[in-house]
């Protein structure tokens, strides 16, 4: 059997797209491409960051970048995470949706109002001001539409995802992942890492180990994480990996900071300009 790293490299290069976007492959693929981009930056002599954060599965790439995990361990763990989450998704008809224009408190109240035994929805990702993600049972999200709009939401957009990530429905995945986490060596982080579940900075291996288990079913507190990075002195933010989604979130959260993305050779000049200041 090929390792998760080999499988991810092959699918990233060759597809097919419908397989690449499935949960058990998409997660290792995101981490593999992020680590490849990071390696290229390091080969170009990029400076060491002052602090770091990764969004959801991106935490695994951040752990590797900060020396907590070696690349192979990070990919093996994220492969275990993806398999466990895919199994949990098969037990529920769940999904996620973006809620535009509604703050956290009224959205949480709306989620509580429509959640019932066995059919719940929660705030899953606090991505940027006015851009929150909910996750849960599909019927609960359908009930949420009218309640959230009545509370002031401008739009509720369904997301093309494999299941209700970062919700209570992922607790079985956390239990399955815990064994793989216990069997993995975690090192002291070289730099502070801001954690998804708490938005607190740490370099402690035990705190970092605990985070990877609880973040599977906990909300991604990205707004607070970005703000924490700013409190740590970060005034330039570089997104490393595929796409520019995180860069957009940072700009919405901290309009005055400098932001760039690096996911391909075409981005090298803008990334170097940001790093050089």
What is the rounded distance in angstroms from the CA atom of residue 42 to the CA atom of residue 275?
Answer: 12
Residue 166 among the catalytic residues: yes
Are the CB atoms for 30 and 165 separated by under 8 Å?
Answer: no
Residue 56 among the catalytic residues: yes
List helix spans (H) across the chain: 4-14, 17-20, 23-43, 58-65, 71-89, 104-114, 138-151, 171-182, 205-214, 222-231, 245-253, 268-276
Write b or e for each residue in 8-46: b if 16 or more Cβ atoms lie within 10 A of its Cβ, otherwise e: bbebbeeeeeeeeeebbbbbbbbbbbbbbbbebbeeeeb
Question: Of these residues, 166, 167, 210, 225, which one is catalytic?
Answer: 166
Active site residues: 56, 166
């Amino acid at each position: 059997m090929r390792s998760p790293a080999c499988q991810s490299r092959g699918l990233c290069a060759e597809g097919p797209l419908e397989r690449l976007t499935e949960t058990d492959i998409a997660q290792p693929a995101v981490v593999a491409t992020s680590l490849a981009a990071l390696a290229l930056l390091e080969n170009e002599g990029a400076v060491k960051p002052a602090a770091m954060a990764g969004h959801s599965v991106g935490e695994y790439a951040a752990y590797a970048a900060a020396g907590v995990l070696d690349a192979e361990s990070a990919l093996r763990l994220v492969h275990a995470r993806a398999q466990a989450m895919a199994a949990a998704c098969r037990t529920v008809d769940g999904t996620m949706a973006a809620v535009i224009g509604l703050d956290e408190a009224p959205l949480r109240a709306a989620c509580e109002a429509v959640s019932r035994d066995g059919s719940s929805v929660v705030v899953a990702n606090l991505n940027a001001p006015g851009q929150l993600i909910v996750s849960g049972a599909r019927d609960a999200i359908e009930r949420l539409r009218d309640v959230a709009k009545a509370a002031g939401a401008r739009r509720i957009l369904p997301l093309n995802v494999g299941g209700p990530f970062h919700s209570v429905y992922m607790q079985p995945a956390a239990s399955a992942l815990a064994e793989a986490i216990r069997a993995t060596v975690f090192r002291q982080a070289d730099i502070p890492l801001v954690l998804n579940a708490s938005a607190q900075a740490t370099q402690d291996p035990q705190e970092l180990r605990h985070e990877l288990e609880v973040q599977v079913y906990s909300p991604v507190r990205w707004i607070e994480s970005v703000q924490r990075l700013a409190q740590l002195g970060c005034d330039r933010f570089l997104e490393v990996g595929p796409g520019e989604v995180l860069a957009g979130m940072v700009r919405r959260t901290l309009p005055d900071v400098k932001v760039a993305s690096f996911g391909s050779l075409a981005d090298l000049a803008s990334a170097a300009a940001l790093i050089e200041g």
